[in-house]
Chain A
């Protein structure tokens, strides 16, 4: 399972094992302040990061960031 969360520390403390850093509580998976094309690119990167996280074996809660290209960091 993977969780895209605006608040990864909260998700990880609750026991989620793959957490992707989302944007903001009001808009976790996108940013209405961006132009439509930039927002679409951001949303795509988030989904790709989430899919990469899903493919990655983990032994404890781990944070994945979009900026890491989905490769993840702990």
Chain B
């Protein structure tokens, strides 16, 4: 499986009747995008904004972030299995991508969906100031704010929003080329990436593999499939910063690839779904994941995850089982202290009272922390708000609305979890990541 990625860096976003990319300027025709999205009768309205890093803008009601990619040659369609794309196996041929640019989809959660999905919380992205600590504050966006039919049921709402987002991304047509192939490297240590991905307990939504979202036993993906969008987020679960952009820009893939054939032989990524409901299921998933790694003759494993809470049980059981199979295992994780706690200088020295990890096993003895993220001060007022006007911090009380443009003391407003999109930084992309440790 050979994939060439052609990258088109976007430094300026322009509106014009002739779409295309020329020397760093990406031109987009907003009228074309508007009419394409409004073809769907489930969509009632659309607003299009341009957002750039460093400007005093706060983006709210983030539903997904999608990096436009297009297959120039090779089988299938990027982001397969969703938004009407066929489920053909991807990862071969040539794919073009934009860099530093993404389509950002905004839409306020409908009241009945807030009640049905506790993880459909409100989130925000500050493009400047103390809240601009995640990678999502560094991208340039075509922000599309969608108003849907208010009566849509959960899965239909998700499908309508996600299809709109991918249709917009498909409209963006972007000569550096980078080749990706797992050429056999027989003399080097064999390393597997165990890619633990949360599956939603609510049927029909959540992160999907070729659009397949239910809990399932582990499967093996070639990293090129992931680069072509085989893993994609939904438009519902914003917490804890899940989006489609993240999966194709996962720093784990982009760091393992240059080492393949030099320091190690990367045998692929085992997708292990997490948040099983029973201990027996958690054990079965962990044991089968380790068995696959063993059958791949892995000598080392890098375990990552993308959620929190009880998902850590099967992740830790997986680490334990890998070590028992003689596979030396490293775990890359954020520390679980994701509550909004102001990061005072004293707290930075002593830590908070929260245990760093909810659950652990003695075999997990090589852990790389991506840190804990908390802004040092309340977020200041912003000049512009994109995506809506108000935020809801208590899912149970959607009637209590906070104007998004003013200053936000997150510690007071949101006691439970940080509403900063991507704050739960499992892969270490934020400015307070392990790079500073």
A interface residues with partner B (beta carbon < 8 Å): 6-10, 13, 21, 23-26
Which B residues lie at the A interface, using CB under 8 A? Answer: 201, 277-279, 282, 310, 313, 358-360
Given contacts A6-B278, A7-B282, 9 further A-B contacts (CB under 8 A): A6-B279, A7-B279, A8-B279, A10-B358, A13-B360, A21-B279, A24-B278, A25-B201, A26-B201
Q: Which residues of A contact B282 (CB under 8 A)?
A: 7
Check A10 against B277 for contact (C-beta < 8 Å). Answer: no
Kindly report which residue of chain B lies nearest to residue A10, judged by CB atoms. B359
Residues on A with beta carbons closer than 8 Å to the beta carbon of B360: 13
Q: How many A-B residue pairs have CB under 8 A?
A: 27
User: When A and B form their complex, which 9 residue pairs have the shortest distance between CB atoms, in order from nearest?
Assistant: A24-B277, A24-B278, A25-B277, A26-B277, A10-B359, A7-B279, A7-B313, A13-B359, A10-B313
- Give min CB distance, B281 to chain A, whole Å: 8
Q: Which residue of A lies closest to B278 (CB)?
A: A24
Q: How far is the CA of A54 from the CA of B278 in the complex (A)?
A: 23
In the complex, what distance in Å separates the CA atom of A9 from the CA atom of B279? Answer: 9
Closest chain B CB from A53 CB (angstroms): 17
Question: How distant is the Cα of A24 from the Cα of B280 in the complex, in angstroms?
Answer: 9
- Which residues of B sit under 8 angstroms from A21, Cβ to Cβ? 279
Q: CA A43 – CA B65 in complex, angstroms?
A: 45
- 27 interchain pairs (CB within 8 A)? A6-B277, A6-B278, A6-B279, A7-B279, A7-B282, A7-B310, A7-B313, A8-B279, A9-B279, A9-B313, A9-B359, A10-B310, A10-B313, A10-B358, A10-B359, A13-B359, A13-B360, A21-B279, A23-B278, A24-B277, A24-B278, A25-B201, A25-B277, A25-B278, A25-B310, A26-B201, A26-B277
A10 to B357, CA, bound (A): 11
CA distance A23 to B280 in the complex (A): 10
Interface centre among A8, A21, A25 (most CB of B within 10 A): A25
Residue of A nearest to B360 (CB): A13
* Residue with the highest number of chain A CB atoms closer than 10 Å, among B278, B282, B310: B278
Contacts of A13 in B (CB 8 A): 359-360
Q: What's the Cα separation between A7 and B313 when bound, in Å?
A: 8
Minimum distance in angstroms from A26 CB to a CB of chain B: 5
Docked Cα-Cα span, A26 to B279, in Å, equals 12
Q: Which residue of B lies closest to A5 (CB)?
A: B279
- Interfacial chain B residues near A25, Cβ < 8 Å: 201, 277-278, 310
Q: How far is the CA of A62 from the CA of B277 in the complex (A)?
A: 22
B310 CB, min distance to chain A CBs, angstroms = 6
Complex: A20 Cα to B411 Cα, angstroms: 36
Contact partners of B201 in chain A: CB under 8 A: 25-26
Residues of A contacting B277 in the complex (Cβ-Cβ under 8 angstroms): 6, 24-26
How many Å lie between the Cα of A13 and that of B317 in the bound state?
Answer: 14
**Cα of A10 to Cα of B201 in the assembled complex, Å:** 19
The interface residues of chain A lying within 8 Å CB-to-CB of B313 are 7, 9-10
Closest to B275 in A: A25
Give chain B nearest CB distance to A3 CB in angstroms.
Answer: 14
A8 vs B317: C-alpha distance in the bound complex, in angstroms? 13
A10, B359: Cα distance in complex, Å: 6
User: Shortest Cβ distance from A8 into chain B, in angstroms?
Assistant: 7
Q: Tell me the smallest distance from the CB of A22 to a CB of chain B, in Å.
A: 9
Residues on the B chain within 8 Å of A23, using CB: 278
A8 to B282, CA, bound (A): 12
Query: Min CB distance, B200 to chain A, in Å?
Result: 12
What A residues does B358 contact at CB under 8 A? Answer: 10
Q: Once bound together, how far apart are the Cα atoms of A66 and B388, in whole Å?
A: 51
Contacts of A8 in B (CB 8 A): 279
Name which residue of chain B comes closest to A21, CB basis.
B279
Q: B359: which A residues are within 8 A, CB to CB? A: 9-10, 13
Q: How far is the CA of A24 from the CA of B359 in the complex (A)?
A: 18
Minimum Cβ distance to chain A for residue B142 (Å): 39
Residues of chain B lying within 8 A (CB to CB) of residue A10: 310, 313, 358-359
Which chain B residues border A9 with CB–CB below 8 Å?
A: 279, 313, 359
A38 to B201, CA, bound (A): 25
Q: Which residues of A are found within 8 Å of B278, using beta-carbon distances?
A: 6, 23-25
In the bound complex, CA of A7 to CA of B310 (Å):
9
**Residue on A nearest B282 in the bound complex, by CB:** A7
Instruction: Give min CB distance, B23 to chain A, whole Å.
Output: 53
* Docked pose: A43 CA to B5 CA in angstroms: 56
Residues of A within 8 A of B310 (CB): 7, 10, 25
Give Cα A8 to B360, complex, Å: 13
- Shortest distance in angstroms between B135's beta carbon and chain A's nearest beta carbon? 31
Cβ-closest chain A residue relative to B361: A9
CB distance from A18 to the nearest CB of B (A): 17
Closest to B279 in A: A7
B311 to chain A, nearest CB (A): 11
Whole-angstrom CA separation of A21 from B359 in the bound complex: 17
